A and B are shown apart, each in its own frame.
Chain A
Amino acid sequence: MEATVKIFRFNPETDQKPHFETYTMPVESTDRVLDLLEYIKGNFDGTLSFRRSCAHGICGSDAMRINGRNYLACKALVKDVGLKIKVEPVLGLKVIKDLIVDMDPFFEHFRSVMPYFVNDEPPPAKERLQTIEERERFDDTTKCILCACCTTSCPSFWANQEYLGPAAMVNAHRFIFDSRDRAAAERLRILNDQFGVFRCHTIFNCTIACPREIEITQAIGELKNAISTGALE
């Protein structure tokens, strides 16, 4: 069978504005959209630019908008997206070339929530222990691979790039609810900013887009609750 792939193209050195180009190629239903992009780059146009690395849904490099929804191209199969495929860069971030966007604002927000372990207490002889329940508390949010599918599917982020976005909050959640960490108060103060958690309008796009199936809206709800009550339950 044949698929028609319409791809967003933009080269800032030659193009005044972006345009779409369409390619037709033989496909299998189990092909991934990433395979199609590789095919186009190898057979039709070597200048097509996109990020990819592991190609197995772990590195989070190839987030893009496929048929109007954010996916990792390496996890989106032809049988799931159909034979008419439209591929665009993710929204809300500046396009550098074709499907490549500037991820700097995204990582700035990520860094702003202190996404690292903080504990100045002297460590015990062996290790900082944690019960199974305490570890399970933040298990979901440890799965984030920073692909930006969630943040760039969020209308609040499209409207205002100062908004921290779901990915930064997911990573804040991962440490705030870690019983070994001691910087929860500081992170909650950062999240309780004008463009912090309360800009989330529970639209659920992030939860739908997440390729790791993290319950992002629930995590953000737990952060709002923690700010309101002060309890890290």
Chain B
Amino acid sequence: MMQTRVVPQRGFNLDYIMFIFTRVSGLSIVLLALVGIILAMVMGARTQMDLGTLMRWTFFPNPNHVVNSDIPDVTLGWANAYWSTMQFLLIFFAFTHAANGLRMIVEDYVNRGVGQLLVRGFFFLLWLFMLITAIFVVLSS
């Protein structure tokens, strides 16, 4: 009978955390998009949206993405805290996932030193800017 041995103190680092995060975020993006598309259908997307609008809704469920000139108050029911949270989570997972991919590309292809630090810093700031912009768009719509 083989005994399970346990190894303590393995330590954490950014790559380990991001390895877990990329798996969690990848699955979450698919799940959130699925929830978005299903609930949009339940809320009448079949009659109120064309395919392009439905896709925009799926990946960024912002009330501004619900377009139908025949129904003036179409956004009623789509702008609430639930959809705001959905929007923010999708944006957070997608941009953080992408920013981590860029970080790894930079580490692989830009020589170590000041240059790499600057490029990594630029992508970090870009990630932060996109998140702040996303929060602004989510809260103001």
**B10 adjacent to A160 (CB under 8 Å):** no
Say yes or no: is A134 at the interface (Cβ < 8 Å to chain B): yes
**A192 adjacent to B13 (CB under 8 Å):** yes
Considering the chains assembled together, what is the distance between the CA atoms of A194 and B10 in angstroms? 13
| Interface size in chain B (residues, C-beta < 8 A) | 22
Say yes or no: is A25 at the interface (Cβ < 8 Å to chain B): no
> Which one, B7, B11, B15, contacts A199 given CB within 8 A?
B15
**A188 adjacent to B1 (CB under 8 Å):** no
Given A159-B108, A185-B7, A194 and B15 touching (CB < 8 A)?
yes
Which residues of chain A from 178 to 233 have any CB-CB distance to chain B below 8 Å in the complex?
A: 179, 184-185, 188-189, 192-194, 196, 198-199, 224, 226-228, 230-233
**A232 adjacent to B5 (CB under 8 Å):** yes
Considering the chains assembled together, what is the distance between the CA atoms of A89 and B14 in angstroms? 34
Given A194-B14, A230-B8, A224 and B19 touching (CB < 8 A)?
yes
Which residues of chain A from 132 to 188 have any CB-CB distance to chain B below 8 Å in the complex?
A: 133-134, 137, 156, 159-160, 179, 184-185, 188
**B2 adjacent to A159 (CB under 8 Å):** no
**B9 adjacent to A189 (CB under 8 Å):** yes
> Which one, B2, B6, B13, contacts A131 given CB within 8 A?
B2
Which residues of chain B from 1 to 32 have any CB-CB distance to chain A below 8 Å in the complex?
A: 1-11, 13-16, 18-20
Given A133-B2, A134-B2, A188 and B7 touching (CB < 8 A)?
yes
Considering the chains assembled together, what is the distance between the CA atoms of A134 and B3 in angstroms? 8
Most chain A beta-carbon neighbours within 10 Å: one of B3, B5, B11, B20: B5
- Residues of the B chain whose Cβ atoms lie less than 8 Å from the Cβ of A228: 16, 20
Which residues of chain A from 96 to 133 have any CB-CB distance to chain B below 8 Å in the complex?
A: 131, 133
Q: 25 A-B residue contacts at CB 8 Å?
A: A133-B2, A156-B108, A159-B109, A179-B5, A185-B7, A185-B8, A189-B9, A189-B10, A192-B13, A192-B16, A193-B13, A194-B15, A194-B107, A198-B15, A198-B18, A199-B15, A199-B104, A228-B20, A230-B6, A230-B7, A231-B5, A231-B6, A232-B4, A232-B6, A233-B4
